[in-house]
Structure 1
């Protein structure tokens, strides 16, 4: 671990604070259309145009998503981008029949997974102090932390993809055990959910489904 200390730490904190204040001064909030693009009017898609998604865009999406917060900066999410015919055939073994055409037609299907050995990387990701003893030998805590924060990172990834102009369609209709055996055998990685990415064929859309109103699901304490 090589955490900053003393004057170097104070300088780094001051620079971070200046940068945040400058950002909020430039853009205190997103324009309504930007909010609609990533959440408000965004849709889940399951039909795709025949348009490739280059590696450079996947890298850009990851770079944005990686900045999202996780507890103690654990960053447990791992991403496998299934793009080849051979990769799709392997993934197809795990899917329910109704989801097969959705995945096979997508230029990219991301397997959103999490690493159960994330905590071994904490000296790099959280260098302020050694937090590995909080996890070592505590399997239930490891699994809960990896799943929770990996899911968060998967959501950041979807929002980042939409922000950069891609469309997404998350899927959970598959057998996680089959995916883990096919893609992660002998590793500490576990699959969470799948996410198709590409440029959507909007002609397959139907109306947006209802959502709960604020007062139906929100309260104050």
Structure 2
């Protein structure tokens, strides 16, 4: 009989079964090497079509993705990555440049209450760019979980020249780079040793 992971909760505490909990969280890891197996267009579309339902403020949905697959695109990407991130980015079958669209207000769904007024208000709002970055960062979390749900590993990174990437891939779009995520099946020695996580009582204060 296989021993349960020490963090497995009693049956019924979560709606997901233990296997799915492990797939999405407990056994999922940040990959640093990848196999050559491709990530298909169907997989990428399925991941996005799942995670797009995650909530954002005002249903703003500011996250945008640049999918880098071609040798030419990867060369353009790798030269803007930090030294320690270049080899794994060059070897990943797919890299996603995750950005925040500061012009998200122009695309607010018409079903949003008073959509036209909200667009006008956001146009003049000095906090619009910060709102875009914050909500795109929330969507980045959904994206990582969605990648895991596809049976793939994600390697999110913040080590890059953001201005260089913006000029290389996003000039004139109003988008700001918030992360680069390598995606694929984990290769040999893909994991660093796992660091401990904070216990519930350290994190949660009840009032």
Aligned counterpart, 2:120: 133
Spell out the pairing of 1:39-78 with structure 2 (5 A cutoff).
39-78=25-64
Aligned counterpart, 2:15: 29
Which ranges in structure 1 are unaligned for 5 or more consecutive residues?
A: 1-27
Select the structure that is richer in helix: 1
Aligned counterpart, 1:6: none
Structure 1's 123 and 48: CA in aligned 2 closer, same or farther, altered over 3 A?
Answer: closer
Aligned counterpart, 2:193: 207
Aligned counterpart, 2:9: none
Which ranges in structure 2 are unaligned for 5 or more consecutive residues?
A: 1-13
Spell out the pairing of 1:93-108 with structure 2 (5 A cutoff).
93-108=79-94
Contact 2:79 2:86 in 1 (8 A): no
Contact 1:93 1:178 in 2 (8 A): no
Q: CA deviation at 1:207?
A: 2.5
Determine the C-alpha separation between the residues in 2 that align with 1:75 and 1:89.
29
Find the partner of 1:154 among 119, 124, 140: 140
Aligned counterpart, 2:108: 122
Match of 2:34, SS state, is: coil
Q: TM-score, normalised by structure 2?
A: 0.88
Aligned residues: 192
Q: TM-score, normalised by structure 1?
A: 0.83
Determine the C-alpha separation between the residues in 2 that align with 1:137 and 1:205.
45
Spell out the pairing of 1:159-198 with structure 2 (5 A cutoff).
159-198=145-184
Determine the C-alpha separation between the residues in 1 that align with 2:143 and 2:177.
15
Determine the C-alpha separation between the residues in 2 that align with 1:207 and 1:183.
34
Aligned counterpart, 1:216: 202
Q: CA deviation at 1:120?
A: 1.1
